[in-house]
Amino acid sequence: MIRFLMNQTLREEDSISPNLTVLNYLREHVRKTGTKEGCGSGDCGACTVVLGEVMNGRLQYRSVNACLTFVSALHGKQLITVEDLKDGSSLHPVQKAMVEFHGSQCGYCTPGFIMSMFALTKNKPLADKEDVFEALAGNLCRCTGYRPIVEASLSLSQNQPIRDQFADYEKQTVARLEAIGAPDVEHSADGKSVFTPTNSDDLASILIEHPDARMVAGGTDLALEVTQFHREIPKLVYLGR
């Protein structure tokens, strides 16, 4: 069973293939189509989503390429997509900044930029231009619209973190994520398995029993076998825990 929060909704998946990427999960299973597929190889950033993880009792946010991340990596985390930023009828400050600084042109890359900017505002509220360049380095704008996007990002820089619904619900979110607990050692579906060891001894035991298993940490190269070459990986060992 894979358990995680999609924004504030608990998801429990026991029949999801270990080869399924977060991008395809969002678009095909949940029908959240704000997250776009550009290159399918982690180069353009159009598919960027943000993961919230508990670190020392607080939420730490990390932008990731949904096209290279397998759903099994979501266990115990909060998945945030561009649809989740809006609070009721109000746009998130990051979205407002993109509108006010005319940061969107064709709009295809915009959700990915917004999610990278969101993670930056959470992790480093008082960001300078170099911080912005680093945070947006994985997002490509094929309409060459970087200047207004950078200006929109810099307009959000301030001494205090932005107050939004994620800050308001942080304590609740941390408690809910901690309550999810450790993942199952093995998750199998669709004739494939993913193993999630939590220490080196368990990892060694899994690899002795399944010497043909492929280890995955970030997935930058391995996931391309699924997304680009359309191969199946029968056994995965996820090292993120």
Residue 187 has pLDDT above 80, yes or no: yes
| 106 and 62 both lie in a single domain | yes
pLDDT digits (tens, 9 = 90+) for 198-234: 999 999 999 999 999 999 988 888 999 999 999 999 9
Q: What is the CATH number of the domain that holds 215?
A: 3.30.43.10
| 18 and 135 both lie in a single domain | yes
Residue 144 has pLDDT above 80, yes or no: no
| 8 and 65 both lie in a single domain | yes
Q: Which of 134, 149, 180 is the last residue of a domain?
A: 180
| 164 and 58 both lie in a single domain | yes
3-state SS track over 17-80: CCCCEHHHHHHHHCCCCCCCCCCCCCCCCCCEEEEEEEECCEEEEEEEECCCCEHHHHCCCEEE
| 130 and 56 both lie in a single domain | yes
| 230 and 113 both lie in a single domain | no
Structural domain count of the chain: 2
Q: Contact, 173 vs 79, CB < 8 A?
A: no
Q: What are phi and psi of 4, to 5 degrees?
A: -160, 170
Q: Contact, 194 vs 17, CB < 8 A?
A: no
Domain that holds residue 223: 186-238
pLDDT digits (tens, 9 = 90+) for 15-74: 999 999 999 999 999 999 999 999 988 999 999 999 999 999 999 999 999 999 999 999
| 54 and 116 both lie in a single domain | yes
Buried b (16+ CB within 10 A) or exposed e, 31-46: ebebbbbbebebebbb
What is the per-residue pLDDT for 35? 96
Cross-strand pairs, 80 = 50
